[in-house]
Amino acid sequence: MAFLPIMLLADAKDNSITYGFLTMLPPLVAIILAFLTRNVIFSLFMGIFTGTFMVNITGSNVFVAFFNAFVDMSEKMVGSLADSWNAGIVLQVLTIGGMIAVITKMGGPRAIAQKLAKRAKTPASAQIYTWIMGFFIFFDDYANSLIVGPIMRPVTDKLKVSREKLAFIIDSTAAPIAGLALISTWVGYELSLIKDAYAILGQPEVNAFAVFVETLPYRFYNILMLAFVFFSAYTLREFGPMHKAALRAHETGHVSNPKSKGVMNQENSFMLPKDGIEYSIYNAIIPIAVLIIVAIVGFYLNGLSSLEGEVLKAVEAAPYSFYAIRECFGSADASVVIFEAALLASLVAIGMGLQQKIFDIHDAIETWVFGAKALVITAVILILAWSLSAVMKEVGTAHYLVTVLSHSTPQFILPSIIFILGSIISFSTGTSYGTMGILMPLTIPLASAVGINTGLEGTDLHSYIVLNIGAVLTGAIFGDHCSPISDTSILSSMAASCDHMDHISTQMYYAVFVGAVAVLFGYLPAAFGVPVYILLPLGLLVIFLVIRFYGKPYFKA
């Protein structure tokens, strides 16, 4: 296997030879069950069990193998959570969830939205301010939906913006922004997947944060979708089912489809501010600013403490240079830093609420715990995804895959295949997280092997791997936008008080279009070596021209 770029674990290599195609069973079981059951937790669970059963069925006693497989599976789950990096990510996610609940209870995000709402005088400005709010709530996709929708809905209703368009804006500024943000509930998980997959290549010390940052220009779907929302709002032009909804709202005043009966409403006493309190923008700005500032400083200091040798000397010589910041941020333990920053921000938020007598200490802790509990399902998916990755390492899935496909897969097509496959899995499961957990351990070794087999090396090989990582992370979001069982899409429908299938049917038309542009003007030419600084402006131009000349106006001033 001279084409392999690294040394894989001996056991994994031996298992890939022993089991052959059967090494694909764990991820295939997870993917197929995701299609059939549309339940990512059950699918990941069964994928893990399939792998542990394979490595334990060495004798003729199936019952013993079944028992040993269950024990092995349990150990892998415990081992995943016992890892300090993984534990930090779980704590980070739960802590940010608690902080979100507290600042929402204090009315801070609502105060900011109300100030923006006062400036919205036209349908275009109402949509653009909703879009801007999505950027402000960058740290979590759930928080985006829970906060932005209920606040902006009265404004968009008054200006006759359809509920379908409101739900689309909310959904399109949730996961795409959280996936791009350097500080969010997503980043720790994405970093862990990247780090874990590089470990399969024999590179456990990879600078995962630096790789993550390098993928940002290649998040074609995220970037183009955000631009699509702005262009359509600014020009007041729509096409497809969304145009019909816009005409209905503008001409009849029916912001919701009168034929639909399944309007979803979002009401939750824990996430709504108390009656009678005075909303202050500082109740959101200060805790979030603490989170961001402490995280940035923490990245630098934590990374600096881990540097050594010539790199440390170079950083000490110019501590505030771009090189120093890049090296420190890249070497930082993001899982620990963001957890610490979120914990401090939570304490600041609780302290502010107590000082203003918005709640007592009992209510504050209860609200924080509720916010953390809301993201427990995310922690479960994380643990299962890590465990599935560990199983695939053990049975040698990645080794088998690169052996079979590295010579037969054209270099130029792999990123597009990864993007489409990610969208299919995400569509069937309704979750981006599970999709990333299934695909990332396969994508990085495969991209590395395909790249080396086609003559790439050094910087070119690294850039090719980064491109494919971007395809995984954005394909998962694209499929999520099209899926009727997506949690963020359901939340967006609830937040906009929109019929869920009305939201999906109007959004899918736009998502498929932007996804096609991402492939044709993004991943395909990028795999041929076209620079991203050419592709992004080209993609943005295509999006604008289609909206301008294919989209139809529906509003007359």
- Per-residue pLDDT of 305-326, as tens digits, reads 888 888 788 888 888 887 787 7
pLDDT at residue 537, as a whole number: 97
pLDDT at residue 398, as a whole number: 67
**Helix, coil or strand: residue 499:** strand
Q: Could you tell me the two tokens for 452?
A: 């080396």
Q: What is the 3-state secondary structure (H, E, C) of 320-354?
A: CCHHHHHHHHHHCCHHHHHHHHHHHHHHHHHHHHH
- Per-residue pLDDT of 457-471, as tens digits, reads 788 898 999 999 999
78 exposure class (CB count in 10 Å sphere: 0-12, 13-18, 19+): exposed
Q: Which residues pair with 553 in a beta bridge?
A: 237
pLDDT at 31 over 70: yes
pLDDT at residue 429, as a whole number: 65
Could you give phi then psi for residue 496, rounded to 5 degrees? Answer: -90, -5
What is the C-alpha to C-alpha distance for residues 51 and 390, in angstroms, rounded to an integer?
10
Contacts of 22 (CB under 8 A, 6+ apart): 54, 395
Instruction: Decide if 3 is inside a domain.
Output: no
pLDDT at 196 over 60: yes
Percent of the chain with pLDDT over 90: 28
Give mean pLDDT, residues 75-84: 85
pLDDT, averaged across the chain = 83
Contacts of 211 (CB under 8 A, 6+ apart): 194, 198, 466, 469
Instruction: Decide if 1 is inside a domain.
Output: no
pLDDT at residue 540, as a whole number: 97
Contacts of 265 (CB under 8 A, 6+ apart): 494, 497
pLDDT at 532 over 90: yes
Closest CA to 492 of 99, 137, 111, 166: 166
Instruction: Decide if 5 is inside a domain.
Output: no
Instruction: Decide if 177 is inside a domain.
Output: yes
What is the C-alpha to C-alpha distance for residues 455 and 189, in angstroms, rounded to an integer?
32
Q: pLDDT grade, residue 4 (50/70/90)?
A: very low
Any idea which residue has 């599935």 for tokens? Answer: 388
| Contact between residue 451 and residue 6 where contact means Cβ atoms under 8 Å apart | no
- Per-residue pLDDT of 384-418, as tens digits, reads 877 887 887 788 776 676 667 666 778 899 999 99
Q: pLDDT grade, residue 351 (50/70/90)?
A: very high
Which amino acid does the sequence have at 486? S
pLDDT at 497 over 50: yes
Listed ranges 14-23, 150-159, 380-389, 390-399; the one with the highest mean pLDDT: 150-159
Q: What is the 8-class DSSP label of residue 552?
A: E
Percent of the chain with pLDDT over 70: 89
Helix (H) or strand (E) holding 553: strand 552-553
- Per-residue pLDDT of 368-379, as tens digits, reads 998 888 778 777
**Helix, coil or strand: residue 461:** helix
Could you give phi then psi for residue 553, rounded to 5 degrees? Answer: -70, 150
pLDDT at residue 7, as a whole number: 35
Instruction: Decide if 247 is inside a domain.
Output: yes
What is the C-alpha to C-alpha distance for residues 514 and 510, in angstroms, rounded to an integer?
6
Q: How many CA atoms lie within 13 A of 257 on its CB side?
A: 21
Instruction: Decide if 4 is inside a domain.
Output: no
Q: Could you tell me the two tokens for 333?
A: 């333990």
For helices 187-200 and 334-355, angle between their N-to-C axes, nearest 10 degrees: 170
pLDDT at residue 536, as a whole number: 96
Which amino acid does the sequence have at 148? V
- CA–centroid distance for 456 within its chain: 29
Q: Could you tell me the two tokens for 460?
A: 């070119």
Q: Which residues pair with 552 in a beta bridge?
A: 238
pLDDT at residue 263, as a whole number: 56
pLDDT at residue 316, as a whole number: 86
Contacts of 203 (CB under 8 A, 6+ apart): 6
What is the C-alpha to C-alpha distance for residues 401 and 421, in angstroms, rounded to an integer?
15
The parent domain of residue 98 ranges over 10-553
pLDDT at residue 216, as a whole number: 95
Among 83-92, 171-180, 311-320, 510-519, which is the least confidently predicted range? 83-92
**Helix, coil or strand: residue 238:** strand
pLDDT at residue 1, as a whole number: 29
| Contact between residue 291 and residue 345 where contact means Cβ atoms under 8 Å apart | yes
Q: Could you tell me the two tokens for 279?
A: 């909303």
- Per-residue pLDDT of 280-293, as tens digits, reads 889 888 998 898 88
- Per-residue pLDDT of 500-515, as tens digits, reads 888 888 999 999 999 9
> Which comes out higher in pLDDT, residue 425 or 506?
506
Strand blocks (E) in 176-296: 237-238
pTM for the whole thing? 0.74
Closest CA to 349 of 288, 298, 275: 288
Domains in the chain, number: 1
Instruction: Decide if 51 is inside a domain.
Output: yes
H helices of 159-186, in order, are: 163-172, 175-180
pLDDT at 208 over 60: yes
pLDDT at 8 over 60: no
What is the C-alpha to C-alpha distance for residues 157 and 117, in angstroms, rounded to an integer?
12
Helix (H) or strand (E) holding 519: none
